[in-house]
C-alpha cells in the first residue's frame, strides 16, 4: 500500500508540472456548460481538463464526455475560493486516468464534485483513481439520487498533509472501486446514508501512511458497504462508526490507533483482529464472524479493556451483540420515549 501511495505522490507532482498542455476552464460563453468548446482555452477539445478559477462558476455537465486516452482532470488547481463540477440527469464524465480534486489549493479553498439524478463519473485504466485533497483545501465528492461513481484503481480521501477530503453518499448513489483509502496523509471523512452503497473489491483503509498527520473516519448510517478487507487505524488514526445499514467485509483488522463503534448496523466478517491498543464497542446491532470461534480472543480483549459486548459461538459462527444490560437500558429508553409521545 505504501508503495502505491509513493507512486501516487510522484504522479501528482508530474501532473502539477504538466498544465501547459491542458484545457483550462474559462466559461468564455458564460453558459457554464462543459460541452461548449468556447468555455475552454487549450490546444484540443476534449482533452485534459483543468478548472482553476472559482470566480468563473460551476462547470455543469449535460451529456456524456470523455477525457483523452492519456488524460486526467484537475479540479481546483491553486484556487482560493470554491471550484465545482456538477453532473446532472443521465450525464456522464469518463476520465482515462486520474481525477485530482483539490490540487495545490489555498487555505480555505473548496473543490467539489456533485452528482445528482442518474449521473455517472468514471476513472478508468491502471491509474484510474479519484484523489480528494492532493495539497491543501477542503475537497468533496457528493453523490445523491441514483448516481454512480466507478474508479478502476482506487479512491483516496484526504491524501496529502494539510488537506481534507470527504465523500458523501446518499439516496441510492453507489461508489465502486478496487481500493478505498481514507486519511492517507491528511484528514478524510466518509458518510454513507439512506440506501447508498460502497463496493470495494480490495480493501477499505482508514488512517494510513504519515505518522501523526492523518486520520480517517467512516460513518455508516444506512445503505450497504461491501469490502474484501477492512483496516481501521492500522498505520494511523481510524474510526469506523456503524450506526445503521449493513457492512460486509473479509478480515476486520482494528489497529493500534483504530476504533470501531457498532451501535446499529448488521455486520458480517470472515475474521476479526484487534491489535494492542485498538478498540471495539458494541452497543447495538450485531456482528457475525463467519465460520470461526473467536470467543477466546474476545474474552482476552474484554479482560484487557479493548472490547465491550456480548458474544457466543453457535457451532458455526461467532455472534457479537450488545451486553444484556445495554440492551435493557435501550429498551427502557424506548419505552420512556413512547410514553412521552403518547402524552
Grid cell at residue 277: 491498543
Entry pTM: 0.86
Grid cell at residue 206: 482508514
Local confidence band at 10 (pLDDT 50, 70, 90 cut-offs)? very low
Angle at 285 between CA 187 and CA 157, to 5 degrees: 15
Q: What is the mean pLDDT of the chain?
A: 83
Lowest mean pLDDT among 41-55, 133-147, 296-310, 311-325: 41-55
Distance from chain centroid for Cα 150: 12
The pLDDT tens digits of the residues spanning 132-189 come to 987 777 889 999 999 999 999 999 999 887 789 999 999 999 999 999 999 998 899 9
Distance from chain centroid for Cα 29: 35
Q: What is the mean pLDDT of residues 252-277?
A: 96
Return the sign of the alpha-carbon dihedral for residues 70, 72, 77, 81: positive
The pLDDT tens digits of the residues spanning 185-223 come to 889 999 999 999 999 999 999 998 766 678 999 999 999
The better pLDDT of the pair 329, 243 is held by 243
Q: What is the mean pLDDT of residues 110-114?
A: 88
Distance from chain centroid for Cα 90: 23
Angle at 205 between CA 201 and CA 209, to 5 degrees: 130
Amino acid at each position: 500500500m505504501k508503495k502505491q501511495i509513493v507512486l501516487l505522490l510522484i504522479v501528482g507532482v508530474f501532473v502539477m508540472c504538466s498544465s501547459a498542455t491542458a484545457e483550462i476552464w474559462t466559461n468564455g460563453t458564460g453558459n457554464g456548460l462543459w460541452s461548449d468548446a468556447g468555455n475552454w482555452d487549450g490546444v484540443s477539445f476534449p482533452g485534459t481538463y483543468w478548472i482553476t478559477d472559482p470566480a468563473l462558476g460551476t462547470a455543469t455537465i449535460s451529456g456524456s464526455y470523455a477525457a483523452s486516452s492519456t488524460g486526467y482532470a484537475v479540479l481546483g488547481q491553486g484556487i482560493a475560493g470554491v471550484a465545482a463540477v456538477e453532473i446532472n440527469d443521465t450525464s456522464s464524465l469518463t476520465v482515462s486516468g486520474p481525477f485530482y480534486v483539490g490540487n495545490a489549493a489555498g487555505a480555505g479553498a473548496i473543490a467539489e464534485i456533485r452528482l445528482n439524478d442518474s449521473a455517472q463519473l468514471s476513472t478508468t485504466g491502471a491509474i484510474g483513481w479519484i484523489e480528494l485533497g492532493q495539497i491543501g483545501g477542503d475537497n468533496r465528492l457528493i453523490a445523491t439520487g441514483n448516481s454512480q461513481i466507478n474508479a478502476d484503481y482506487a479512491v483516496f480521501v484526504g491524501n496529502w498533509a494539510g488537506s481534507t477530503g470527504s465523500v458523501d453518499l446518499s439516496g441510492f448513489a453507489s461508489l465502486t472501486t478496487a481500493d478505498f483509502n481514507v486519511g492517507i496523509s491528511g484528514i478524510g471523512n466518509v458518510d454513507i446514508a439512506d440506501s447508498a452503497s460502497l463496493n470495494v473489491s480490495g480493501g477499505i483503509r482508514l488512517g494510513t501512511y504519515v505518522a501523526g498527520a492523518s486520520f480517517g473516519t467512516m460513518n455508516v448510517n444506512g445503505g450497504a458497504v461491501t469490502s474484501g478487507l477492512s483496516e481501521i487505524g492500522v498505520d494511523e488514526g481510524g474510526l469506523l462508526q456503524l450506526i445503521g445499514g449493513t457492512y460486509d467485509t473479509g478480515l476486520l483488522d482494528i489497529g493500534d490507533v483504530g476504533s470501531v463503534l457498532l451501535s446499529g448496523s448488521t455486520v458480517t466478517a470472515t475474521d476479526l483482529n484487534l491489535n494492542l491498543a485498538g478498540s471495539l464497542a458494541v452497543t447495538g446491532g450485531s456482528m457475525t464472524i463467519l465460520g470461526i470461534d473467536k470467543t477466546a480472543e474476545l474474552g482476552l480483549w474484554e479482560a484487557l479493556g479493548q472490547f465491550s459486548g456480548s458474544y457466543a459461538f453457535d457451532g458455526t459462527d461467532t455472534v457479537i451483540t450488545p451486553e444484556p444490560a445495554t440492551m435493557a437500558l435501550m429498551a427502557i429508553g424506548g419505552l420512556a420515549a413512547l410514553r412521552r409521545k403518547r402524552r
